[in-house]
Each structure stands twice: as C-alpha cells, then as structure tokens.
C-alpha cells in the first residue's frame, strides 16, 4: 500500500510504517479503559507531524483461551452464553487525533467477557475506505484485573 496524498499535497501515512506503543497492546483491564498511542509515519518511515489520518481498531475475543483449564471447565458450570455469542463482532476502538501525528487509541474490555485473551487489530484507513494493518498488528492482548 503506497502512502496517500492529501488534498493539500501532504504525503500521507503508510500503514506498515505506523507504530503503536503502550501497555494496552499487551494487556487489558476489566476495570478501566485501555489506551495506546499510534505514531503516524510516511512510506520512508519519517514521522508525520500533523493530524488528519484515519485509524480504526477492533478487539476480537479468543474464546479458546479461557481463563481456566479444561478440567475446571468440565466440572464447573459457567453461567451465561459464551463470549462469542455476547460480543460476536468484538469491541471497537476509538481514536483521538492529537493533530501532531499521534493518535490516542482506546478500548474497553467488557467486564462480562469470560476470556483472558483477545486480538487487537489496528488499521490505517485510506480515503476510499480500504484498511491496512499498521506495523505489528494484530496484537495479542491478555486480560488482567488492571494495567501495570
């Protein structure tokens, strides 16, 4: 995917060069919002120092990575439907454009999700709606009680 050219002639972000940072890319909390930062980069890897890019994200749950082992699951009755039935499309991330080439990503790991792991996809969205993963995406996220 080539970088985009904006109407004012700026070179746009290039998804494989964009970088995400933050603890929420590795672990989430059931008790608080999880935040991370995306740093926009052009196709030469240079930082972009203005806003205007569009990022999207989705946290997809991994029900096979339940927080208990199989022997516990067999002997213990778990109330409620499996997480895939409750959150079939995962959870959306919101992004705030800081207008300096950085974007604050935020998601909430549902309190009633009975899983301990998820996959976080982060995409750069082009003007025509096409999405491309940023560097390192998707990220494997573990869920604990609170972020470190």
- Tens-digit pLDDT profile for residues 119-129: 999 999 998 89
Query: pLDDT > 70: what percent of the chain?
Result: 70
Phi-psi region of 147 (alpha: psi -120 to 50; beta: other; left: phi over 0): beta
Mean pLDDT of the chain, nearest integer: 78
| pLDDT of res. 75 | 33
Q: ∠ at Cα 55 (85, 146), nearest 5°?
A: 55
């Amino acid at each position: 995917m080539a970088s985009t050219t904006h109407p004012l002639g700026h070179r746009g972000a290039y998804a494989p060069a964009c970088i995400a940072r933050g603890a929420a890319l590795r672990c989430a909390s059931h008790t608080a919002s999880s935040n991370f930062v995306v740093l926009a980069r052009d196709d030469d890897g240079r930082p972009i120092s203005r806003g205007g890019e569009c990022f999207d994200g989705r946290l997809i749950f991994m029900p096979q990575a339940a927080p208990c082992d199989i022997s516990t699951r067999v002997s213990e009755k778990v109330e409620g439907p499996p997480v895939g039935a409750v959150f079939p499309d995962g959870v959306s991330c919101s992004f705030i454009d800081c207008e300096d080439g950085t974007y604050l990503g935020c998601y909430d790991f549902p309190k009633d999700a009975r899983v301990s792991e998820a996959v976080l996809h982060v995409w750069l969205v082009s003007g025509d709606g096409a999405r491309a993963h940023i560097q390192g995406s998707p990220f494997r996220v573990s869920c604990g009680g609170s972020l470190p």
